Each structure stands twice: as structure tokens, then as C-alpha cells.
Structure 1
Amino acid sequence: MDALTRLHRSLAGGDDEEQPEDSILGDTEGICSLSPVQRVYGFAACLVAGLALMILSLLVFIRPIKFAVMFTFGNILAVGSTAFLMGPSQQLRMMLDPVRVYATAIYGGFVVLALIFALWIHSKVLTLIAIICEICALFWYSLSYIPFARRMVSDLMVKLCDTEL
């Protein structure tokens, strides 16, 4: 078994044993016949494109509406890039896991709000507020994948913001 297959199985929540046909690999083989190497290439391409859009969005920071659109689409590409590694259904299951369902909903809500404020309402202030909230929600969502990270950040914020001496 090659290293990429082991990586895919560890990200998909499997182990090193052979996967049964009703597993995520069995589900995706009929729909998507990408090899593990092609999946890593797809992941890398989406991640690089998303990061490039987010970095390029800083060039148009003066124009908040263009910034919001570029940053948000880059953000979506970067987050969605992991679907190549573990499959879209497994990623959706992980995003809707009870541990991170609220973070996913808040992040998705701010993505939609940022695009609405930028594309339909054309409000620079509301767009920037939505982008800041989107970044915070993505940070909180990302912490859910690291054991005890949310608790440590929460405790740190309480200590930093504590006004009692």
C-alpha cells in the first residue's frame, strides 16, 4: 500500500486494513475515479488557487467589494480543497459533525453575508465587517480539528480580557 493511499485513509477516518465496499472509498470509486496521486494534485491545485486569490485580494484592499469577492472565493476554494483528499461526502459529514456544526453554519453564514453585502448591497462597511467575522469563524472552525484547541483559545481570551486584578 503506497503512502498516498494511507494518507487518504487516515484523513477519511479509516485504518490501514482493506476498506469494505460501503466505505467512503467504495462510494467515491464509482463517481470519481481519481487516483490518490490525482487527488493530491487536485487538493494542491485548489489550495494554491485559494491561497493565491486570498493573497491577491490584499492588492485590492482599497476597494472592499473586490477584496471581499476575491477573498471569499479564495477562502471557499481553500476550504473545499480537502474534498479531493477525503471525498465530498466525508468532508460534509465532518463539517456537520456535532462538534463543528455551529462553526460551519456561522462560517457559511458569513461567507454568504459577505457576498450579499459586496455584490448586491454594495456596502463597504458591512462587507468589511462580514469579512472580519468570516475570518474569525474560519479560525474557530479550523480549531475544531485540533484537540483541545478551542478550550485553550477560550481560556486564553478570558485571561487576556479579564478586567479584574
Structure 2
Amino acid sequence: MDKLRRVLSGQDDEEQGLTSQSLDASSLSFSTRLKWFAICFVSGIFFSILGTGLLWLPKGMRLFAVFYTFGNIAALASTCFLMGPVKQLKKMFDTTRLLATVLMLWEKKGLALLFCLLQFLSMTWYSLSYIPYARDAVIKCCSSLLG
């Protein structure tokens, strides 16, 4: 309310210091924080689902990458409205949230690495199908190594 009075009375925000401007920007009420959390979270989920649905269109991989990434960023950023970004980063590594944090951080890179490896193995197996008896040779080699 004070900020509205300053603007209506003609006082500029440039007269305020950087600290007081940042405090004004972060002094949201709990209901406002909750509303913006819900808006960001729901829009993040929406864009992630939309990106997944766009996979089957022409140039769908690009659209998927853009929308899915934007959706994840929006959903993760939504939690900043609940307690602020600095406090959130500190609380991410509490013992009650540590497992979820590690899984979230590992999931992105770990799953990407897993799928890249699976794609490489699939391409290798597919390529071996064009070489006579190559698949049989690989199966025999692997079974002799394992058994």
C-alpha cells in the first residue's frame, strides 16, 4: 500500500535504495505467494504435458525440448514463491528433502545418459542386423563373457 501511495504521490522508485526496492518486491502476502505458486506450478505441468504431446508433430523434438524444459523450469520456480529462492536452496538439502533433491538432480542427467546409452545400443543392434551372423557372434561373445 505504501508503494502505491508513493507512486500516486509522484515519488519515484529510483529515490529508494536497492535494498528497500528488493524488500518491497519480496514482501508478498502468503495468499499472493500461494496464488503465484499455483499459477506457476499448473502452467509448468501444462507446458510439460503440451511438450510431450507435440512429440508426434513435424519438428516435434524441438517443440518438445522447448515446452518440456519451460514447463520444468516453471514448476521448479513455483516453489520460490512459497519461501523465497535463497531459503528454498538452503532447505533443499535438509534431511527430509535430501532424497527427493538428489533424485530430481540425478533424474535429469541420469535418465538422459541412460536413454542415450540405450539408443546407442539399439542402433548398434540394428546395424548388426545388416551383417550376416553378426548378431549371433555378439550373443556368443557376451554369453562366453558372462558364463
- TM-score grouping bracket, smaller chain normalisation: 0.3 to 0.5
Q: Which has the higher helix share?
A: 2
Higher CA-based Rg: 2
Q: What is the TM-score of this pair, normalised by structure 1?
A: 0.43
The answer to which structure, 1 or 2, has the higher relative contact order (CA under 8 A, 6+ apart) is 1
Q: What is the TM-score of this pair, normalised by structure 2?
A: 0.48
